[in-house]
Structure formats: structure tokens, C-alpha cells
Amino acid sequence: MSHRISIATSITDRTIAEAALKAKGWGYDVSGDTIRITSGPMSRANINLKTGEVSGDTDVHTDKYGAHGNLGSLNRAYSEQLVRAQVASKSGYFEVCEEVQVNGKGKLRLVAAGLSLG
């Protein structure tokens, strides 16, 4: 039996959140400051863009690999899109190198030429 839960995230930028959801191939609808995920493993979850809070059934944050699998996947996609936007606005050049391991966990490395993000 699942229960409704809310989890704090840093997902607050609408454009970046939409890009992350598109990259994941998940459907969504936007209404005001709320994104409702309509397809994918987090279907029926809501993202409050004012607070970054993600709410949904308990299964929105787990997958077959363990705790925070689906939400972690969305957070990774959001972070990647955020860095892409930052790099593109400053240098226009970057390279994405992703290594996905057998257990579903992966490492993502973004390489930007001539740019310091720090």
C-alpha cells in the first residue's frame, strides 16, 4: 500500500524542469507553479516550483534499485539540464560523457571548454 509523501528538492526552475522531463521522456502538464508528471515511473507526482517540493505516492522515490531511484533520476536530469544551460549561456560548448553501470547507478561528467563554473 502506498502513501502520499512530499520530498524537498532544488527543482524550482520551470524551463530546466521541463527540459529534464523531456530528456527523461516523461509526460507532464504545467499549471501555474505546479508541474504534474503524467507518464513515466513518477506518473501522478507533482512538483511545486515555488518550493521545490515533489509530492506523490511513496513509489515516486523508489525503484527496483532502491531508495530514491526515480526521484534521484529526475534530480540527475535536472542537474544536467541546469549545467547545460549555464554552460551554453557562457561558452556555448560542452561535451557530455555518461557511464551507466549495471545496477542502474551512473556517473555523469560534463566537460566545458574555456569555462569556470565555480
Mind listing the pLDDT tens digit for each residue in 54-102? 998 766 555 544 445 688 889 989 988 898 888 777 765 655 555 555 5
Flag whether pLDDT at 118 surpasses 70: no
Cα–Cα distance for residue pair 97/112, rounded to 1 Å: 11
91-112 burial: b if 16+ Cβ within 10 Å, else e: eeebeeeeeeeeeeeeeeebeb
Flag whether pLDDT at 116 surpasses 50: no
The more confidently predicted of residues 75 and 4 is: 75
According to DSSP, the β-strands at 53-57 and 106-112 are: unpaired
pTM of this prediction?
0.73
